[in-house]
């Protein structure tokens, strides 16, 4: 019934990668949740998210078996890259590591699937991603935090309509959130090799965080004195503040704002029309 339905399936593995410890000698996988191979030393802890695209198999109802994906990533991809880079791992950039993972994963994907996306998380808050549709461009994503209060209130509506539409979020005294902001930049392979988190951090801090952190948005921050500060409008406004700063060395490709861990908004710019 679903055999002609194309689906993207993502599987994540977590692992330590050390020049001193060959993954081939790590033994059986005992705790895939916290990571394999593991390490007794201070080694980079990474995660790799592999997205495969394919039709649902009418016999198994899978795109593919995730156990097969695990085996490919652990026994083929990680081992291939460790063998190739060896003692150079400590000096390897995340972009190079991701590119090597991509080439190995693409060569070993399960039959009937295509490698759609590969994301290397250097930390829970910083990642590099390769998309098949935009290969070899690399996306670098970094998270930031700010705390702010706001009141959801549309000036074009009456007070009664606002109360009915927004409920307690229309409280005249406002309410607060610990927002998480994620900035994604699209880089050429050369730019990704030289990517500086410090430069991005300086731009985002001066353009966004210093403006919004510990502020009442409706009262203290333009344009929210006249623009309803929904999470959607906050994402678009942050895009407008940042887009020109990244036009030369890299391209701003997405702004994501988490209002809560369960609610977030993405904005890809005014000309966005395709899949991200």
Continuous segment of H or E residues that includes residue 82: helix 79-85
Catalytic residue among 79, 103, 169, 216: 169
Buried b (16+ CB within 10 A) or exposed e, 34-57: ebbbbbeeebbbbbbebbbbbebe
Residue 169 annotated in active site: yes
Exactly one of 20, 145, 161, 214 is catalytic; which is it?
Answer: 214
Residues 219, 10: Cα–Cα separation, whole Å: 42
Under 8 Å between Cβ of 175 and 151? yes
Q: Encoding tokens for residue 103?
A: 């080439």
Q: Give how far Cα 117 sits from Cα of 65, 82, 101, 166, 177, Å.
A: 17, 21, 11, 38, 32
Question: Is 53 in the active site?
Answer: no
Query: Residue 218 belongs to what H/E stretch?
Result: helix 217-220
For residue 223, say if its preceding peptide bond is cis, omega within 30 degrees of 0. yes
Residue 214 falls in which region: left (phi positive, over 0), alpha (psi -120 to 50) or beta: left
Active site residue 259: yes
Assess contact for 265 and 256: CB atoms under 8 A.
yes
Tokens of 211: 């403006």
If you search the block for the tokens 């948005």, which residue do you land on? 217
Residues annotated catalytic, as ranges: 169, 214, 259
């Amino acid at each position: 019934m679903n055999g002609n339905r194309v689906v993207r399936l993502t599987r994540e593995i977590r692992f330590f990668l050390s020049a001193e410890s060959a993954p081939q000698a790590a033994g059986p996988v005992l705790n895939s949740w916290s990571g394999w191979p593991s390490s007794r030393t201070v080694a980079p802890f990474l995660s790799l998210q592999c997205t495969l695209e394919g039709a649902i198999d009418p016999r198994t109802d899978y795109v593919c078996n995730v156990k097969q994906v695990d085996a490919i990533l652990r026994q083929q991809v990680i081992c291939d890259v460790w063998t190739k880079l060896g003692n150079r791992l400590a000096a390897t950039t995340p972009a190079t590591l991701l590119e090597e993972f991509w080439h190995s994963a693409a060569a070993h994907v399960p039959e009937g699937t295509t490698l759609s996306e590969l994301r290397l998380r250097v930390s829970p808050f910083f990642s590099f991603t390769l998309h098949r549709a935009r290969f070899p461009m690399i996306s670098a994503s970094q998270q930031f935090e700010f705390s702010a209060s706001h009141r959801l209130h549309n000036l074009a509506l009456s007070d009664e309509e606002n109360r009915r539409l927004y409920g307690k979020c229309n409280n005249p005294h406002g309410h607060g959130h610990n927002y998480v902001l994620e900035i994604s930049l699209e880089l050429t392979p050369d730019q990704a090799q030289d990517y500086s988190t410090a430069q991005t951090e300086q731009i985002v801090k001066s353009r966004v965080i210093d403006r919004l952190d510990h502020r009442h948005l409706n009262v203290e921050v333009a344009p929210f004195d006249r623009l309803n500060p929904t999470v959607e409008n906050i994402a678009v406004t942050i895009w407008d503040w940042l887009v020109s700063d990244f036009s030369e060395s890299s391209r701003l490709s997405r702004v994501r704002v988490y209002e809560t861990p369960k609610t977030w908004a993405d904005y890809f710019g005014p000309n966005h029309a395709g899949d991200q």
